[in-house]
Structure 1
Amino acid sequence: MTDPATTPRARARHFVILLGWVSLFADLCYEGMRGAIGGYLAVLGASATAVGAVAGTGEAIGYGLRYASGALADRTRRYWALTIAGYATNLVAVPLLALAGSWPMVAVLVGLERLGKAIRSPAKSTLTSFAAADLGAGKAFAINEAMDQIGGLAGPLLVAAVLVWRGETASGYAWAFCLLAIPAAGAITVLLRARRLYPDPRSLESTPPSDSATALGPRYRLYLVGVALVAIGLADWPLLAYHLKHAGVLTDRWLPVAYAGAMAIDGVAALAAGHLFDRSRRRGHTGAGIVALFVLAGAAYGPLVLASDAATPLLAIAGVALWSITRSATESIGKALIAAIVGRDQRGRAYGLYYLVWGIAWWAGSLLLGALYDRDRTIAAAVAAGALVAGGAVVALSARARSEI
C-alpha cells in the first residue's frame, strides 16, 4: 500500500492492489460472520426454517438489488460514494450482531449487510474495470479474487479461534462479531486512501472504449444466458459438504479444511485464468473462449463428488478441485469479460445485471440440484454437468455474436 508510480501500468497495478486489500479485509469480516451465523442462530434457539429464512432472505437482497445500484452508478458516476457506502454497512451491521437477542434481529442485520453488498458490488467491479486497459482485465480481476480468497480463509479461522477462547456461547459469538469490526474498519480505511489517490478512476482507462463496446448488445445478452446456465450447474458448497458428510467421505471437523483447500485452489486458478484471458485478448479475441475453457474444465465435478463415498475419497478430492477451478472463472475472468465487451459508461448496469442473473439462476439451481439429490444423486450429477457444458458452449458462442444492438 505504497504511493503509486507514475507510469500508467504501475498506477493501474497499484489501484487494483489497493482494491484487493479492500476485498481481503471485507471478506475477512463477511466470511467470518457467514461462518458463524448458523451456530449463533442455534444458540439463540432458531429453528432450521428460521436459519434458511435468514440465509435466503439475505442472499435475495444481496443479488436482487444489484441491477438498480449498477444503473445508479452509471447514471451518477459516483462509484466511490456507492462503494464506500456499501462497505460501511459491514462496520455497522456485523458488530451489532453481538447485541441481537433474537433470530429476527439477526435476520435484519444480515439483510443490512447484504444490502451493503448489493450497493457496492457493481460500483466496485466497475472501478476495477477502469484499470483493465493498461493492466489487463484478466489480471485485474484475478488479483482481486486471489486477495478476496485470502480474507475468506482468514475470517472463519479467526472466528473459530475466538470461539475456542471464549466458548460457543452467546458471549463468545458476541466477542467474535465485535472483533470482526477491525477488518471492516480496515477495508474503509484502505478505500478512503484509494479515493484520495485516485479521485477520478476513469482516468486510469487510457485506451478509449471502442464504438463496438458501448451497449448491452447481443454479445452481452448471449453471454448472460451462458452465465445463467453455469450458475444453475455450479452447486453451492453446502450441498457438496452435505454429501461428503453423509457419504462418510469426511467428518465434521474436516469439512472446513476441505473448504479452505477449495478456496486456495480457487485463488491460484484465478491467477492462471487471468493470465490466459489477457493473452487471448492480446491476440485479438474477446476472452470468452478462456472463460468457456475453465467452465468446461470443471464440468465433471458433480459426477466425481456425488459418486464418492468412504471408499473413494480421491474422487471427492478431484471433484472439489474441479469445482474450485470453475468457480474461479466465474469470480474473476467472468467479470473481466464484461470489461472487454461493454463500454465504461454502461458497466455499472452491466455488472448489476450480471449479478442479478447469476443470483436468480444460482438460487434456482440450488433448489433444483438439492431436490434431485434427494431423489437420485446420479441425476443431480448429470444435470450439474449438463448445465455447465451447455453454459460453457453458450459463453464460447457469445464471442461470435454482434457486439452492437
Structure 2
Amino acid sequence: MTGASVRRPSRMGPWRFVVWFGTVSLLADFVYEGARSIAGPLLASLGASALVVGVVTGAGEAAALGLRLVSGPLADRTRRFWGLAIAGYALTVVSVPLLGVVGVLWAACALVIAERVGKAVRSPAKDTMLSHATAATGRGRGFAVHEAMDQVGALVGPLVVAGMLALTGGDYGPSLAVLALPGVAVLGLLLWLRARVPDPEAYEREAAAATDEPAPDGRLPTAFWTYAAFTAATTAGFATFGVLSYHLVVRHLVAAAWVPVLYAAAMAVDAVAALATGRLYDRHGARVLMALPVLTAAVAVLAFTDTVAIAVAGSLVWGAAMGIQESTLRAMVADLVPSGRRATAYGLFAGVVGAASLAGGALTGGLYGRSIPLLITVVVGVQVLALVLLAVTPAARR
C-alpha cells in the first residue's frame, strides 16, 4: 500500500480524535457512574430487597460483559462501528434519567440492566476505533489518556449526584434528571465526531503505510489466546473493592462514610497509573505488564491487614492495578490482533475479564471468610502463574 492510495481519515489529527473520544467517555461516565452510585438505594426505595438489588445489578454487569461476545463479532462483520457506538451510548444516556421518574420497581430494574446493555453494545466498536487512532499516537499513551479522562467522569458524576440528593432532600428524580445534560452532550459530540472522522481505520492504514508494514491476515493469533490466559489468571486473583471495603468496615478500620472518599482516591491513582504505564508500554513493550501481577499480589498482602494506614495503602494500590487493567491491557490487544478481527477480539477479551472478575470476587470473598493468610497465599500463587503466562506470550518476550 502506498501513501498516495491511503484515504485520509479527516481534517482531525489522531491525538485530537483520542482526546475528543476521551471527552465522550468522560461525559458518559458522568452519567452512568452517577446513576450506579445510587442504584442500590434507589431500588430499595421502590421496595426491592437486598436479593433483588444483588440479582439486578449482577445481571447488569453480566450483560455489560457477556453481550460483547455478540456485539464484537457483529461490529467486525458489519463494519458499522459508529452506528453501534452511538446506539450503545444512546441507550445508556436515555435509560439513566428515566430511572428517576418511572416509580415502579420492575421498570427501574429493566432500566438498570438496559444501561449496562448499552455499554455492551458500544464497547467493542469504541475500543476498535480508539485502537486505530492509537496506532499513530502510541497505543499505550493513547489508551492511557482515554482512561484518565474516563476516570474524571467516574469521579465527578457520583459527587454531583450526592450534591443534588443533599439539595433536594433525597429526591432521586431531579438528582438523576441532571444527568440528562451530559447525556445530550455525549450524543451531540458523537455525531460531530462521526462527521469529522467517518473512517477512523484510516489512521492505522496511514501509520502502516508510513512504516511499510505488511497487512496481517484475519485470524486471531495464538499470542492473543496466551495473553487472554495471562489476563484471566491475574484478574482471578484480584480482589474487588467491595471485598476491600467490607474488610475496612467490619474490622472498624474506616467508617462507612469514608469508603466513597477512599474509592475516589483510588480512582485518582487509577488515572495516574494509566498514564504512567501507558507511556512505559510504548517505550518498553509488554514487559511493563509484569507490574500488574505484582500489584495484584501486593493488594492482598496490604489491604487485608488490621493496620489502618497499610490497609488504606492497599486500597490505593488496588487503584493503580485498576489503571493498568483498564488501559494498557486493552492497548496490547490492539497490538496483537489484526484490524479485521479486532472488535471480535475485544468482545472475547471482555468475556474473559468478566468471567475472571467473577471468579476473583468469589475466590477472595470466600477465602476471606476462612483464612486471610490462606487468601494471601493463594493470590500470590495465582499471580506467579500469571507472570509465567505473560513470559511465554511472544509479544512479551520481544
> What range describes the TM-score normalised by the shorter chain of this pair?
over 0.9
In structure 1, the partner of 2:175 is 176
In structure 2, the partner of 1:269 is 273
In structure 1, the partner of 2:66 is 64
Taking only aligned residues, the RMSD between alpha carbons, in angstroms, comes to 2.1
* Residues in 2 aligned to 1:224 and 1:119: alpha-carbon distance in whole angstroms: 21
* Residues in 1 aligned to 2:230 and 2:180: alpha-carbon distance in whole angstroms: 38
**Mean Cα deviation higher: 55-64 or 359-368:** 359-368
Gaps of 5+ in 2: 1-7
| 1:153-179 deviation digits (Å, cap 9, x = unpaired) | 0011011001111122xxx11111111
Q: List aligned pairs for 1:265-344, cutoff 5 A.
A: 265-280=269-284, 287-307=285-305, 309=306, 312-344=307-339
In structure 2, the partner of 1:145 is 147
Displacement of 1:9 in angstroms is 12
Displacement of 1:46 in angstroms is 1.5
Letter in 2 for 1:300: A
Displacement of 1:213 in angstroms is 7.0
* Residues in 2 aligned to 1:146 and 1:20: alpha-carbon distance in whole angstroms: 8
* Residues in 2 aligned to 1:7 and 1:198: alpha-carbon distance in whole angstroms: 6
Displacement of 1:317 in angstroms is 2.4
Q: CA 1:155 to 1:207, structure 2 compared with 1: closer, same or farther past 3 Å? A: same
| 1:363-382 deviation digits (Å, cap 9, x = unpaired) | 12212221221222332233
* Residues in 1 aligned to 2:322 and 2:236: alpha-carbon distance in whole angstroms: 12
Gaps of 5+ in 1: 1-5, 281-286
In structure 1, the partner of 2:347 is 352
Q: CA 1:400 to 1:275, structure 2 compared with 1: closer, same or farther past 3 Å? A: closer
Q: List aligned pairs for 1:222-233, cutoff 5 A.
A: 222-233=226-237
Equivalent residue pairs, number: 386
Q: Does 1:245 align with 2:249?
A: yes
In structure 2, the partner of 1:284 is none
| 1:318-342 deviation digits (Å, cap 9, x = unpaired) | 2112212211111001000011111
* Residues in 1 aligned to 2:249 and 2:297: alpha-carbon distance in whole angstroms: 22
In structure 1, the partner of 2:360 is 365
Q: Does 1:167 align with 2:162?
A: no
Q: CA 1:353 to 1:7, structure 2 compared with 1: closer, same or farther past 3 Å? A: closer
* Residues in 2 aligned to 1:23 and 1:401: alpha-carbon distance in whole angstroms: 29
**TM-score with structure 1 length normalisation?**
0.91
Aligned residue among 101, 108, 111 for 2:110 = 108
CA contact (8 A) 1:288 1:398 kept: no
The alignment partner of 2:48 has SS state of: coil
Q: What is the percentage of aligned positions where both structures have the same residue?
A: 42
Letter in 2 for 1:134: A
Q: CA 1:383 to 1:181, structure 2 compared with 1: closer, same or farther past 3 Å? A: farther
Letter in 2 for 1:253: A
Displacement of 1:388 in angstroms is 3.0
The alignment partner of 2:86 has SS state of: helix
Letter in 2 for 1:96: L
| 1:99-118 deviation digits (Å, cap 9, x = unpaired) | 23343322211111111100
* Residues in 2 aligned to 1:379 and 1:106: alpha-carbon distance in whole angstroms: 40
Letter in 2 for 1:340: D
